[in-house]
Structure 1
Amino acid sequence: MTGYYISGDIGGTKTLLQATELKDGDAQVCCERRYASQEYACFSDMLREFLRETMALGIGSNPVSACFAVAGPITQQVANLTNLPWVMDSAAITKEFSIPVVKLINDFKTVALGIETLPESDLATLQAGKPSAMELRVTLGAGTGMGVAWLIWQDGRYIPLSSEAGHMDFAPADELQDRLLQYLRKKFGHVSIERILSGPGLTNTFNFLQTDLNSTPALVQVRLKPDGAAQISDLAFNHKHPIAMRAMDLFVEIYGAYAGNLALAGLCRNGVYVAGGIAPRIIDKLREGGFMKAFRDKGRFSSLMEDIPVHVVMNPKIGLLGATQEARRIAGNN
């Protein structure tokens, strides 16, 4: 088959779109662009711009298929994105752009699909553990939100199962985290784990810790953007700001505990894969030990937790890799 297909990884902050050309069974990426998601009123405006670029490159007029990874729940191929005011409908995209087959897929389901394609060099291992072949795996990752997907062995390969486990209740593990929960409950009512384990969540944690400024009067209160994760990281790692450093410690501890909870929930003996935009940027912090200490701190099941492999996905395009793999599959090219 000759033609090209479109894949995309659509997040609340950024979107990656890619066109891959297929000739006699060989696939070659011929166009890839990054877009700031919030600069577009709807996804169609972005896709229209991308397709104009592909046509200018002489790739072709219409793709044979498309797969888009979206950050949000999908019902009958319609998605309301969690962190964008967009509604995406695969049937509407098919009609508007004359693409024969269009599929929407949960963003962390495509992350899960991409795991099998990664070389070892794209993984940073926090705990080698004792992997058990064909047992469950789980992928999770903090970025604009918190994504989670499971991987179950079936018919000789891993099949991804999407979830909205990022909206599970936050479970505090000590008195400081109890106070964090109380602070966030006054602000949001229901406190999901995503209110902490995300870019905006790190901002929430920093702002909570600033409420204790009376004990550190020499510090000037810092005003952050709603998603001030990059600013907090800079304050912590480059300026040794004590509140930013504590916010990062707390973030990592809660991240590790949550990853451990997911590993227990699925008994994921063949690996936990931490992806998302934040983890690769703070990999040195994750390696310090606070993440794994909280991961393993499960009382009577602590010894079991030591056997579960834990890896950080360092490839920022893993979601796009999974979407590309699926776009090719639905075009009839397994």
Structure 2
Amino acid sequence: MNAMSDTASLNTPSVFPGGARLLADVGGTNARFALETAPGQVGHIHVLACADYPTLADALRAYLALPDVAAAAPGIRHGAIAIANPVTGDMVRMTNHHWEFSIDGLRRDVNFDVLAVVNDFTALARSLPHIPAAQKRQVGGGTAIEGTPLGLIGAGTGLGVSGLIPSPAGWTALLSEGGHVSFPPINETEVAILQFAWKEFEHVSAERLLSGVGIELIYRALAAHRHIAAEVLGAPEIAQRALEGTCPLCDETIEAFCTMLGTIAGNLGVTLGAQGGIYIGGGIVPRLGARFDNSGFRARFEAKGRFRAYLSAIPTFVITAEYPAFLGVSAILAERLALA
């Protein structure tokens, strides 16, 4: 188990009438768990590797049994889970991991009264209005217009897409699977990448290229296109070599990733009319740091012909908060309990 713990914010007794609440953010690689004892008081954060547990119920029970968690909040009854997968009914089958479960069955397995399960990017979208300025970084120009839609995109194990739409009653998060739109090449090099990907996949979605395994696919495609022998490299090694400046092909791969992400983010901007900004989450872009800021992402984002001025006015932000989805699942759970 790969775990981290932060208990500094949980030194006060619970003020939630029903006791502490479980918050979770489950991806294809890691499951992140935390306790919330009062509004905004989140701690006892542990990260568990999904591969170490046969089921999500096993991972959840392992978290609840950790000594610091069990001592801080015995008998938890309420929880909310954000998961990297469509959530359209009671049964959930993960796209990027083998876990599958019934939401109500999981609730009964862990003896909860209320268990909310939502798409991870729905939860992340709900967090956007609550992210402090210090935990996001603007890339390029543009100014957010208050009361207008927000867009969200993030590359990691997969490609998540969502949006937040304002209304008089508050914000509505979109249940989007926009990462599975068909990949749109913009230049001859991207056409070559797409043609290479077609050898492996009948349908090449944006996620096939804008993800961890996508970076590896771009690397192999560019090697074939440049007639260069490709090494067997994983996405972290490709990114590291690019950041170190030790591999021109790796650097070209990361540049292609950034610019192609700019295309999809720009598409999202005009589709949603996201004049409140486009937010970039996921595990990959924040780790690229200044390399992403200095890439062709923003230029490609704005490259929409007659709509260049429209997109130039939309700001783009990299989310740098370590666990932003917890803000979203907390808000969703609070609403669910208010209706219970």
Question: With structure 2 as the length reference, what TM-score do the two structures score?
Answer: 0.90
- Counterpart position of 2:231: 222
Q: Secondary structure at the match of 1:116?
A: helix
Residue deviations 1:206-225 (CA, integer Å, cap 9, x gap): 011121454x5xxx63112x
- Whether 2:94 is the aligned partner of 1:81: answer yes
8 Å Cα contact 1:276-1:316 kept in structure 2: no
- Counterpart position of 1:107: 120
- Counterpart position of 1:11: 27
How much does 1:42 deviate? 0.9
8 Å Cα contact 2:259-2:297 kept in structure 1: yes
How much does 1:58 deviate? 2.1
Structure 1 pair 155–64 and aligned structure 2 pair: CA distance change class (3 A) = farther
**Equivalences for residues 127-206 of structure 1 within 5 A:** 127-206=140-219
- Whether 2:64 is the aligned partner of 1:51: answer yes
Residue deviations 1:57-109 (CA, integer Å, cap 9, x gap): 42344222111001111122322111011113220012111100011100001
- Counterpart position of 1:256: 262
**Equivalences for residues 34-45 of structure 1 within 5 A:** 34-45=47-58
**Equivalences for residues 222-241 of structure 1 within 5 A:** 222-224=231-233, 228-241=234-247
RMSD: 1.9
8 Å Cα contact 1:77-1:104 kept in structure 2: no
Residue deviations 1:150-197 (CA, integer Å, cap 9, x gap): 100012532211210000000000111011111111111100000110
Q: Matched residues in 1 for 2:199 and 2:69: separation?
A: 52
- Counterpart position of 1:325: 331
Structure 1 pair 276–166 and aligned structure 2 pair: CA distance change class (3 A) = same
Is there any run of 5+ residues in structure 2 with no aligned partner, and where? 1-16
**In structure 2, what residue type is equivalent to 1:244?**
C
How much does 1:324 deviate? 2.6
Q: Secondary structure at the match of 2:186?
A: coil
Percentage of matched positions with identical amino acids:
27
8 Å Cα contact 1:16-1:320 kept in structure 2: no
Q: Matched residues in 1 for 2:20 and 2:52: separation?
A: 27
- Whether 2:108 is the aligned partner of 1:95: answer yes
Q: Matched residues in 1 for 2:277 and 2:169: separation?
A: 17
8 Å Cα contact 1:141-1:276 kept in structure 2: yes
- Whether 2:285 is the aligned partner of 1:279: answer yes
Q: Matched residues in 2 for 1:186 and 1:144: separation?
A: 21
Q: Matched residues in 1 for 2:146 and 2:37: separation?
A: 34
Structure 1 pair 332–173 and aligned structure 2 pair: CA distance change class (3 A) = same
Structure 1 pair 98–239 and aligned structure 2 pair: CA distance change class (3 A) = same
**In structure 2, what residue type is equivalent to 1:221?**
A
- Which fold has the larger relative contact order, with Cα–Cα distance below 8 Å and residues 6 or more apart in sequence? 1
8 Å Cα contact 1:256-1:295 kept in structure 2: yes
Structure 1 pair 127–158 and aligned structure 2 pair: CA distance change class (3 A) = farther
Structure 1 pair 316–91 and aligned structure 2 pair: CA distance change class (3 A) = same
**In structure 2, what residue type is equivalent to 1:320?**
F
Q: Matched residues in 2 for 1:88 and 1:126: separation?
A: 39
**In structure 1, what residue type is equivalent to 2:337?**
A
**Equivalences for residues 114-129 of structure 1 within 5 A:** 114-129=127-142
Q: Secondary structure at the match of 1:163?
A: coil
How much does 1:232 deviate? 0.4
- Counterpart position of 1:67: 80
Is there any run of 5+ residues in structure 1 with no aligned partner, and where? none
8 Å Cα contact 2:148-2:165 kept in structure 1: yes
Q: Matched residues in 2 for 1:327 and 1:75: separation?
A: 17
Question: With structure 1 as the length reference, what TM-score do the two structures score?
Answer: 0.92
Q: Secondary structure at the match of 2:146?
A: coil
Structure 1 pair 239–302 and aligned structure 2 pair: CA distance change class (3 A) = closer
Q: Matched residues in 2 for 1:265 and 1:213: separation?
A: 34
Q: Matched residues in 1 for 2:255 and 2:165: separation?
A: 32
Structure 1 pair 306–30 and aligned structure 2 pair: CA distance change class (3 A) = closer
Q: Matched residues in 2 for 1:194 and 1:55: separation?
A: 38
